[in-house]
Chain A
Amino acid sequence: MKRNTLTKAVAAIFVAAAASSSFAQKISDDVVKIGVLTDMSGTYSDLAGKGSVVAAEMAIEDYSKSKTILGKKIELISADHQNKADITANKAREWFDKEKVDVIVDLVTTSAALAAMEIGEQKNKITLNSGAASLDITRSKCTANNVHWVYDTYNLGKSREALVKAGKKSWFFVTADYAFGHNLERDTAQIVTSNGGTVVGSVRHPFPGSDFSSFLLKAQSSGAQVIGLANAGQDTINSVKQAAEFGISQKQTIVPLLTFITDVHSLGLKAAQGLSVAESFYWDLNDKTRAWSKRFYDKHKRMPSMVHAGVYSSVMNYLKAIESTKTDDTKAVMDKLKSTPIDDGLFKGNIQVNGKFSHDFYVFEVKKPNESKGPWDYYKLVATIPAAEASAPLDKSCKLVK
């Protein structure tokens, strides 16, 4: 009796809602709204955070001084997800439902990224990920409305191949205990073993961590040649520092598996010299990157990390895709992005069917203090890994790969 009425009421509402859903307009809600969802105050705030907002703003202004596209306004909104999946999911849901946001960018931290991708798929909106790392984003957890713009754990693992081939055969991992750390360890371990090396052991530390002494001591006692740090941001900085404190770096090679130029800046060249770093963007690579980075520096007072470059590139190419398809409809824009080669001065490559933006990757070595001409002049290029080799082969674990 009570239940039947409820069911009928609910069914009626549902039908009404479905009937009144608007047909796809040219530009939904008459505005193209971009949301930057990032870590503003925590472990990753330097490599992403406010800099990503600056990068997005730059892209909008560079695209159109008057901040309009196809006659409609472009708006920007940003928020701090504090590296938490629940805050990300709720914010994404609210943005897509209420704030008319069409695309969410940055999304550093894998757990947050996965949450946003999930909501994006549900609400049929786009997520352009420049911050998170896990390979799973374009494999088992891939979604149709997502592009993984800058780097993933496969790229990072692959860049260590040369190290293993050069004789660093025994590895021990100190891993951040969440999806990103697990993936980074897994993908690097795979490169190690397939090149004749061995993984002596691994230990997981809570994320975010603060005192890594017990984990580093375990690594030290394993006797491995290489201690791979499967963590990032502040965690990497602290691990490297504490490894030096315990005299570990004297006998074993510390390899931080994910480093950003902002980390090196924090550590200082004295502590970071000689570290082997892999990134897909560096401000001093060529004239185009130098010119763009200088403009970024003028606004943010710090050189851009590859995440910042990715946010700029993703927003710019998103706007260009809308311009050429004459609509911000999700499927149209995604199809356009996946079918157009990208060469915007920061990145050059193609977006694959699983959402991976495949482009070159670089291996750098951190300069010694006397080799550097000034702040931010930290890297010397050691090798370039071409896109085809750097990117993971397409895998059927992603439902989009037939």
Chain B
Amino acid sequence: MSANTRILYTVLLAFLAVVPFQDFVYIVFVMKLLCFALFASAFNLLLGYTGLLSFGHAAFFGGAAYVTAHASKAWGLSPELAILLGMFYACVTGYLFGSLAIRRQGIYFAMITLALSQLIFFLALQMKFTGGEDGIQGVPRGYLFRFIDLSSDTAMYYFVLVLFLVGFLLIQRTIHSPFGQVLKSIRENEPRAISLGYDVKQFKLLAFVISATLAGMAGSMKSLVFQLATLTDVHWHMSGEVVLMTILGGIGTLLGPIVGAGLVIGLQNYLAGIGSFSTIVLGAIFVVCVLAFRRGIVGEWLAYFERYQESKDRRGGYEQNK
């Protein structure tokens, strides 16, 4: 990690640490941002680093939200156990869906994930415990480790922050590991990876499961923050939203999904009063992004920065040659 990046991370962390002590930004808003940033980052592991576009990640995010909500409300599980249960659901479902979907490539893969997540949507609609249109409301945040009361927004915030950092670090470690390198090679040139002897299907499946589990963690976190789980969380629009966030922010970069999540959530919040403006604006930005700025905000910034560095080096070399 370069010195610049280290400074950037430290500054960000400092900002995040003092959120409960200021009045400028609404603390629940930042918690929402952290949940979606984790969701987008988990999604990016699959799209940006393995090259697989899943259009059904809401199944993991929303499904885990329901599981955690039910565990906390009906079974009285403490928050860390409820979240673990949600992640377990996401892991198992991720394995099942991944095994089915990985049989196909590209667009077919996307369509299959979309349709599979619809199954989860309709299950959520029909099953008694999910409460249908009402969703599961009044989910108690509970006592972390049996003694920290999370009903205080400040306590909940730090818990969410820690979970986010854990998830984010996990993704970062995965990407920079030998496993991550193989994933990147699959994204770049799958036939070559196969010819090199890698069991590509297993790698894809593992990436899928990790992505699903962390997406589930994000969903579980969200259900405790807002104390409810609803059909919105498992609707395919949610799957579309995370695609939006990741691509707008920059696939294949670590900070991209976080920036993307911030942009999307921020815009939705800011434009909420004005009819469906947020959808129109987001859709328009997305179209422009797909047409012209495919690397996303962070990706384009990094590319610009690299070109700037290169031209600087070249200029420096030129001067040296004088």
Chain B residues, Cβ within 8 Å of A85: 133-135, 137, 228, 230
The reply on B240 being an interface residue by CB < 8 A is no
- State whether A207 touches B137 (Cβ < 8 A): no
Question: Chain A contact residues: over half helix, strand or loop, or mixed?
Answer: helix
Chain A residues, Cβ within 8 Å of B28: 90, 93-94, 97
State A115–B230 Cα separation when bound (angstroms).
Answer: 11
Q: Count chain A residues whose beta carbon lies closer than 8 angstroms to a beta carbon of B.
A: 30
The reply on B287 being an interface residue by CB < 8 A is no
State A17–B157 Cα separation when bound (angstroms).
Answer: 14
The reply on B271 being an interface residue by CB < 8 A is no
The reply on B20 being an interface residue by CB < 8 A is yes
Interface-forming stretch among B6-14, B147-155, B300-308?
Answer: B147-155
The reply on A7 being an interface residue by CB < 8 A is yes
Within the complex, the shortest CB–CB distance from A6 to chain B, in Å, comes to 7
State A207–B125 Cα separation when bound (angstroms).
Answer: 11
Most buried by A among B154, B162, B275: B154
Within the complex, the shortest CB–CB distance from B12 to chain A, in Å, comes to 19
Chain A residues, Cβ within 8 Å of B135: 85-86, 111, 115
Which residues 23-74 in A have Cβ within 8 Å of B in the complex? Answer: 41
Within the complex, the shortest CB–CB distance from A172 to chain B, in Å, comes to 21
Chain B residues, Cβ within 8 Å of A13: 20, 152, 154-155
Chain B residues, Cβ within 8 Å of A86: 135, 226, 228, 230, 232-233
Within the complex, the shortest CB–CB distance from B41 to chain A, in Å, comes to 22
- State whether A84 touches B132 (Cβ < 8 A): no
Contact string, B115-158, partner A, CB cutoff 8 A, digits 1/0?
Answer: 00000000001000000111101100000010111001011001
- State whether A14 touches B134 (Cβ < 8 A): no
Chain A residues, Cβ within 8 Å of B137: 85, 89, 114-115, 118
Which residues 225-261 in B have Cβ within 8 Å of A in the complex? Answer: 226-228, 230, 232-233
State A97–B26 Cα separation when bound (angstroms).
Answer: 9
The reply on B273 being an interface residue by CB < 8 A is yes
Nearest to B21 among chain A residues (CB) is: A13
Which residues 66-124 in A have Cβ within 8 Å of B in the complex? Answer: 79, 84-86, 89-90, 93-94, 97-98, 110-111, 114-115, 118
State A7–B154 Cα separation when bound (angstroms).
Answer: 12
- State whether A179 touches B133 (Cβ < 8 A): yes
Q: Which of A7, A79, A90, A207 is the one whose CB lies under 8 Å from B133?
A: A207
Nearest to A119 among chain B residues (CB) is: B227
Chain A residues, Cβ within 8 Å of B132: 177-179
Nearest to B162 among chain A residues (CB) is: A6
How many of chain B's residues touch chain A, expressed as a range? Answer: 20 to 34
- State whether B232 touches A84 (Cβ < 8 A): yes
Chain B residues, Cβ within 8 Å of A84: 230, 232
- State whether B155 touches A98 (Cβ < 8 A): no
Nearest to A91 among chain B residues (CB) is: B272
Nearest to A2 among chain B residues (CB) is: B162
- State whether B154 touches A14 (Cβ < 8 A): yes
Q: Which of B155, B230, B272, B275 is the one whose CB lies under 8 Å from A41?
A: B275
- State whether B232 touches A94 (Cβ < 8 A): no
Q: Which of B26, B148, B154 is the one whose CB lies under 8 Å from A98?
A: B26
Q: A89-B137, A89-B227, A178-B132 are in contact. Are A6 and B26 (CB under 8 A)?
A: no
Chain A residues, Cβ within 8 Å of B148: 7, 10-11
Nearest to A13 among chain B residues (CB) is: B154
Nearest to A206 among chain B residues (CB) is: B125
Contact string, B87-110, partner A, CB cutoff 8 A, digits 1/0?
Answer: 000000000000000000000000
Can you name 22 A-B pairs with beta carbons within 8 Å?
A3-B145, A10-B154, A10-B155, A11-B148, A14-B155, A17-B152, A17-B154, A85-B133, A85-B135, A85-B228, A86-B135, A86-B226, A86-B228, A90-B28, A94-B28, A98-B26, A110-B134, A114-B137, A115-B134, A118-B138, A178-B132, A179-B132
Top 9 A-B pairs, shortest CB-CB distance: A178-B133, A111-B134, A86-B230, A118-B138, A10-B155, A111-B133, A13-B154, A85-B135, A86-B232
Interface residues of B (CB under 8 A from A): 20, 26, 28, 125, 132-135, 137-138, 145, 147-149, 152, 154-155, 158, 162, 226-228, 230, 232-233, 272-273, 275
Interface residues of A (CB under 8 A from B): 3, 6-7, 9-11, 13-14, 17, 41, 79, 84-86, 89-90, 93-94, 97-98, 110-111, 114-115, 118, 177-179, 206-207
